[in-house]
Each structure stands twice: as C-alpha cells, then as structure tokens.
Amino acid sequence: MFRPSTSQNNSITIYIDDEAIQAVAGESVAAILLKQGITAVHSAPDKAARGPYCMMGVCFDCMVECEDGRSEQACQLYAEEGMKVYLPVTKQTGART
C-alpha cells in the first residue's frame, strides 16, 4: 500500500463506490486509490483486472466511472469535495480486489 511520508491535509471527502474517503483537495483520484491500497480498478477485454500503470494519462488502465456514467482516467481526475467515482471492477466481479 502506498503510504505518505509527510502529513497530508485530508480536508475533503470523496466517495469511492459510495464509501466516504478523506482526501487531499486536487489530488488525482488514482493517487487516492493507491493510498487506499486499491490497485485494480477496471477489467481488460480478456477480463483481467487492470489498474494504474503510468500515472500520466497514456496507458488508459486506471479507468473509473464518474457519477454521470462517463469513464475517466483516474490519474486525470482531480479530487473535489463530494466527488463520486465507481470502480468498474467492483461491478464486474462484485468485489473490490
């Protein structure tokens, strides 16, 4: 699990699969997920679980679903108060890996 080496200003709340998580405003959702110990977020066409790889928007393996139903790269999504994201892999497997 990724752990911070300095104290973090977790001043906002976001929701991952409807679970409230304290997060730093403006942090990427991918970074927040990794700090929660979540490394798998969606499935590839062959059903294999995938998660963040490049953290800079080129691998497209950190896909999450936003509240309106659109998919976004979690590393290109910056946390705001009340943001809700859903992990496709939870829906697909019924459990978060």
Phi and psi of 75, rounded to 5°? -80, -5
Whole-angstrom distance, CA of residue 56 vs CA of residue 73:
9
Minimum CB separation of residue 19 from another protein in Å reads 19
Pairing of the two strands 63-66 and 71-73: antiparallel
The number of residues making up the chain comes to 97
Number of residues that bind another protein (CB under 8 A): 42
Calculate the CA 11 to chain-centre distance: 18
Q: Which residues ranging from 15 to 74 are in contact with another protein (CB under 8 A)? A: 24, 26-28, 31, 34-35, 39-40, 44-46, 48-61, 63, 68-71
Minimum CB separation of residue 35 from another protein in Å reads 6
Residues that bind another protein (CB under 8 A): 1-8, 24, 26-28, 31, 34-35, 39-40, 44-46, 48-61, 63, 68-71, 76, 78, 97
